[in-house]
Amino acid sequence: MSSPAWGRTEKPHSDRTDWQNIKQMLPFIWRYRGRVLLALLFLVLSKLAMVGVPIVLKFIIDTLDTPPDETATLPVALLLAYGLLRFVNSGFNELRDVIFARVRYHAMRELSVTTLKHLHELSLRFHLERNTGAISRDMERGAQSFSSILNYLVFNIVPTAAEVLLVAGILLSQYEARFAIAIFITVAVYVAFTFFLTEWRMHYRHQMNALDSSANGKAMDSLMNYETVKYFNNEVHEIRRYEQTMGEWEDAAVRSQSTMSLLNFGQGAIIAVGVTVVMFFAAQGVVDKEITLGDLVMINAMMLQLFIPLNFLGVIYRSLKYALADMDMVLKLLHKPVEIQDAPDARELVIDEPTVEFDHVHFAYNPDRPILCDVSFCIPAGRKFAVVGPSGAGKSTLARLIYRFYEVDSGDIRISGQSIRSVTQSSLRRQIGIVPQDTVLFNDSIYYNIQYARPEASRDEVIAAARLADIHDFIMQLPAGYETVVGERGLKLSGGEKQRVAIARVLLKDPPILIFDEATSSLDSKSERTILEALNRISRHKTTLVIAHRLSTIVDADRILVLEQGQIREQGSHEELLEQGGLYANLWSIQQKKRLQLEGDEAPDGTEE
């Protein structure tokens, strides 16, 4: 199965146009447009000074080129002008860099922040299918390429174009048209050759990008699943997958470098022919007494001045194309539509009585596989409802829909009588707290992870929440206390410890609506009892939805909903459902037999080992 297009780097589609991508960059530099104009002014002044250098040099040569019977005089003023022009050229170049630095780095920051913000706005559907390593590499390359593109356009392409026009204008006004024509033909052939060959070899760069991101994704994936790799003794398998992709990347890189050498050779040949032709014209002009030796030196200096940056223009164009290719995936990412958006007239969710109501809800992740079919129920304020059923029945989907991670296909979900589609997502999620089945923590301190629920909370409030979650004493036993770093995804803590951190977080948030999504399914019996006591404490007087696998954890629920194939088959209290003798009673019987069997294995013949 191929990975989704947005989870990896791929060759940009044929409908990609570089000009459109460049236009999309403009908003990121618009704030500093004054600096851009000032930098361009300094650039023009610098180029005027640079073109003036060969002209002054011509007059110096002509002044010194006197007949043998005359004494040459030192052209002090011209020599000072020569030095001043070079100083002005260098000075305005540096001023341009200083002025433009703020524009470049601000644009990089804005692009990075905008991309991360957009990623957070994309739906859970996108994030479940993404490749984190590939997207991380695309973001990194995108920000760097943005800086490179600005640099190439302002510091290389525009200056070179200005210099070509200035040199051609001087030659047309001062000398025969053949000089300017030769230069224009050389430049035209050079640019056409560079564009054609660069476009031809760009697919190697696209291939390198795709393979680079793919390899990075594989490496990140294997490291993030380090324990799983070790469990199945698959280190060699992971290295082989990575090595195979990097081998393909190596082949693409070699082909890219080989074709670049061909391009460089062709560019050098075109420039050599062009310069030789112009110098033949100039030398012939000196022989025919049509131009002076100073004119020859000036034309030669202008050729060097022109073709040296023009030679680099080939490199710059290639780099610009690479940078545009690198940035293309980030721009495509920014164009990914936001699936879940606030309505234009969305208002803040106001909680009077924290009721939760599902009204004939239909939902499917994919159209050909329905998950929920005509689900209706209402949790009154302050009551505790539980949802049970076989795996795949749609239990966890209920929590995702309440949080509005997905839109329902039909029907409605209301909180305190207000459709969740008519309120802002921020105000909706502010009123809900969840203790998930798999608590994922940030690679930061325990204090940071608890305070994350309410970043403005004081230290006393964080500690009070930890005490209520029965984790304070454990934290204080750690060498670093609350500043203990929990590791990536909280791997340094046990399952029960992570669950207590999650409970402390919810306590600190103190929302009117709570969701427990199989919060104890992965814990042992002792940890489960401790966590259940904590959950019961925090859910008093709150509207609570418990998604459970172990039926023994929800026998005290006010009402239990039994889901099967996306439909509510049964509902009632624990006792009522047992009396019905249906699906719930069957699940209860199976789990009780398993529990008795486990207890029998632990204590044969009724005795403890």
Residues in the chain: 609
Whether residue 420 is predicted with pLDDT greater than 90 in this model: the reply is yes
67: number of Cβ within 10 Å: 6
Whether residue 37 is predicted with pLDDT greater than 50 in this model: the reply is yes
Whether residue 72 is predicted with pLDDT greater than 50 in this model: the reply is yes
Mean pLDDT, range 72-91, rounded to an integer: 83
Closest to 350 (Cα-Cα) out of 424, 434, 433: 424
Domains and CATH numbers, the chain: 18-334 (1.20.1560.10), 356-431+511-606 (3.40.50.300), 441-499 (no CATH)
Note the pLDDT of residue 54: 83
What percentage of the chain has pLDDT greater than the value 90?
21
Give the amino acid at 363: F
**Which H helix or E strand runs over 545?**
strand 543-547
Task: Please report which confidence band the pLDDT of residue 137 belongs to, taking 50, 70 and 90 as the band edges.
Answer: low
Task: Please report which confidence band the pLDDT of residue 363 belongs to, taking 50, 70 and 90 as the band edges.
Answer: very high
Residues 450 and 501 sit within 8 Å (Cβ to Cβ): yes
The pairing of beta strand 410-415 with beta strand 384-388: unpaired
Which residues, including other chains, have CB under 8 Å from residue 443's CB and lie 6 or more apart?
485, 486, 487, 488, 489
138 or 407, which is more confident: 407
Whether residue 255 is predicted with pLDDT greater than 60 in this model: the reply is yes
Mean pLDDT, range 292-300, rounded to an integer: 82
Max Cα-Cα span within the chain: 130
- Distance set, CA 307 to CA 67, 187, 240, 270 (Å): 33, 9, 47, 10
Judged by DSSP in three states, 34 sits in: helix
Averaged confidence pLDDT in the chain:
81
Whether residue 462 is predicted with pLDDT greater than 90 in this model: the reply is yes
What are the pLDDT digits (tens) for 589-598?
988 887 777 6
What are the pLDDT digits (tens) for 117-131?
888 888 777 776 666
Task: Please report which confidence band the pLDDT of residue 527 belongs to, taking 50, 70 and 90 as the band edges.
Answer: low
509 or 143, which is more confident: 509
Note the pLDDT of residue 489: 65
Question: Which range among 365-374, 410-419, 528-537 has the greatest average pLDDT?
Answer: 410-419
